[in-house]
Amino acid sequence: MRHEAFDQSVSDRVVALNKSYAHHAAIDVLRHALKDAQVGRVAMVSSFGAESVALLHLVALVDPKTPVLFLQTEMLFPETLEYQQTVAKRLGLEDVRLIHPDEDDKARMDPDGLLHRTDPDACCNFRKTVPLANALNGFDAWITGRKRFQGGKRADLEFFEEEPGTGRIKINPLVHWERDGVREYMVNNRLPRHPLVAQGYPSIGCKPCTSKVAPGEDERAGRWRDTDKEECGIHFVNGKMVRIGAGEQA
């Protein structure tokens, strides 16, 4: 169950948390967030994608019992599923939860597994956004890997932010990290890389909607190629999961 005994509003708690931890390192933010009563019950949401292992490693160092929510869309690359198991074992993560789409929704909306071809937004909705919304119902906050260097609305991100309409807090421990810093951290800590990165997939999602990226292309060019879709939309506005613009994926 979510914690209901907070003595301040979400927005007031976010302001206070950012003031308290403004000059802390990522791992210190995590240490405090995972035990601070004004944050509440926390989960991490991870795609086990190209650079996810850096934040997973930090979480494992602080508390390997932290719930990690992994969206098993049932359309992922086999390599991603194998990588998830490898990383979880290597880091000693004790509570990885595979979040599947609802079987009734799948039978009703995508019985032949081809919805991604005609309506990728609808496919993401029932395979990702709805299952994640349900999985997060028991938590007061969730950890994301978003960073300021990714641009767009992320340029002004803080360690803590309010998720509109949900009563939850988002925690962004890596907000000040640069692209090279993430990769250096992975190398320095000898963390396993997703096997598809070396094959030309710098951004990895579901298999039908992810293609290789040519030299010089944007790293996300291989996601939903030849469509106007840019994100899966796992964010809330006024309490509802919505599609969001480029640079806003968790």
Question: Could you tell me the CA-to-CA distances from 135 to 70, 71, 99, 130, 159 in Å, in that order?
Answer: 10, 10, 7, 9, 22
C-alpha closest to that of 211 among 72, 200, 102, 63: 200
Both tokens of 228, joined, read 């106007």
Q: Name the DSSP letter for residue 125.
A: I
Euclidean distance between CA atoms 129 and 236, whole angstroms: 9
* Secondary structure of residue 201 in the 3-state scheme: coil
- Burial group, residue 246, by CB count within 10 angstroms (0-12, 13-18, 19+): middle
Catalytic residues: 232
* Secondary structure of residue 98 in the 3-state scheme: strand
